[in-house]
Amino acid sequence: MVAAVDAVAEKVVAQLREECATPATRLDGVATAMEEEMRAGLHEDGGSKIKMIISYVDNLPIGSEEGLFYALDLGGTNFRVLRVQLAGKDKRVVKLESREVSIPPHLMSGSAAELFGFIASALAKFVADEGDNKVLDGKQRELGFTFSFPVRQSSIASGTLIKWTKAFAIDDAIGEDVVAELQTAMEKQGVDMRVSALINDTVGTLATGSYNDEDVVIGVILGTGSNAAYVEKADAIPKLEGELPKSGNMVINTEWGNFSSSCLPITEYDQALDKESLNPREQIFEKLISGMYLGDIVRRVLLKIASRSSIFGHIKRTNLKTRFILRTPDISAMHHDETPDLTIVAEKLAETLKIKDTSLETRKMVVEICDIVTSRSARLAAAGIVGIIRKIGRGTPGDKRRTVIAIDGGLFEHYAKFRQCLESTLVELLGEEASELVAVKLTKDGSGVGAALIAAAHSQYLN
């Protein structure tokens, strides 16, 4: 049996607790800084660390939409095609069919024509399989396109690719309009379909939320990555050119992952993670709050303890030096362990990190580290949401409107202690009275169903 927790380990944890502390005053500062950055980003492009991208979505679905709509969700090594049948207020989504297709690796670094040709051929097969479709009644098919890569949008159905991320490297697509590429490829395949909207997954989450509850005004992704979108008054966007939309509203994709501020509680572990990342000094907020990073922050703390103390045995016999070996589902499992002797913690440490024969005290310390890192994440995410709520003039004691935040992502959905902490922090920051009218709702598949719903809300056949 390895020794109980020693003074060195306790000191590392005490320092972590202090450096990750998020008292309400600090969170208030984060919310204020977020609101200031939002204003700066709305004023002019490049005016802020957060891009505040105009989505050109000026109408969100409200539940009364009818008809058959399609979605294409392209964001990684697979893409999905969906067919969604809507039947108005009472019946809502009456039929939903989808198909997932793997992209052959050679197409991810080939030409734009090859990639979009492959996608269009899958869409053609999907459409062909439905046979003679009575629901369309002679109308052209309409599609919402979720494209989860950086684009510069100039209208609801056009956007030029800024750069590829993930495993894609198709040089001749950069600077090209991805909607035009898809439209051309579909025409070559004989698919008569109009791309009515180009969106990202966060805008899609907001749309799906709005479809199910008209009081949803903010959509947030809290999963592997993190982002937020919200409904802004069009006349509060100085950089919006041309005439204002009839609705008077505009959905803004904040790209809040790139937010940073001196208010943020940043530790040596965060600095090291950032320095070794693929995008140093970028996405600082995302690196503090999203599921991609929480496990690795915990691993770095454990590594420091192991380098100064013998409670984990010999470092060389462990996996503590392997980056990203400890994933957020692992820390969630340990954090939620309610067995009397923390058996799940012991199993995770042994299986994942090759740390065996830990004492109960050591396992309790590991749970505390998970708690410190996750609480900081949830509380900062809540502060970001409060910044958006304040920016749109809601959540004040006199405000009688209901404000609902639609949230998607595995971190929020599967990590119960994260979700509970986020919800209780919203109450703490908004106050009892105002928070009674603020709610968060798990909202799934914004990137699929959400895209079809936005296509419906921007259909060419609307009166």
The span from the CA of 352 to the CA of 299, in Å, is: 11
E strand map for 33-189: 53-54, 66-74, 78-87, 93-102, 141-147, 151-155, 158-161
Question: Beta strand pairing status for 93-102 and 78-87?
Answer: antiparallel
The span from the CA of 445 to the CA of 103, in Å, is: 20
The span from the CA of 394 to the CA of 227, in Å, is: 20
Contact 110/167 with Cβ under 8 angstroms?
Answer: no
- Of 335, 356, 354, the residue nearest 344 (C-alpha): 335
3-state helix, strand, coil in the chain (%, to 5): 45, 20, 35
**Residue numbers annotated as active site:** 80, 148, 201
The span from the CA of 331 to the CA of 294, in Å, is: 8
Say which amino acid occupies 97.
E
The span from the CA of 331 to the CA of 374, in Å, is: 9
- Of 268, 328, 346, the residue nearest 304 (C-alpha): 268
- Of 328, 322, 329, the residue nearest 300 (C-alpha): 322
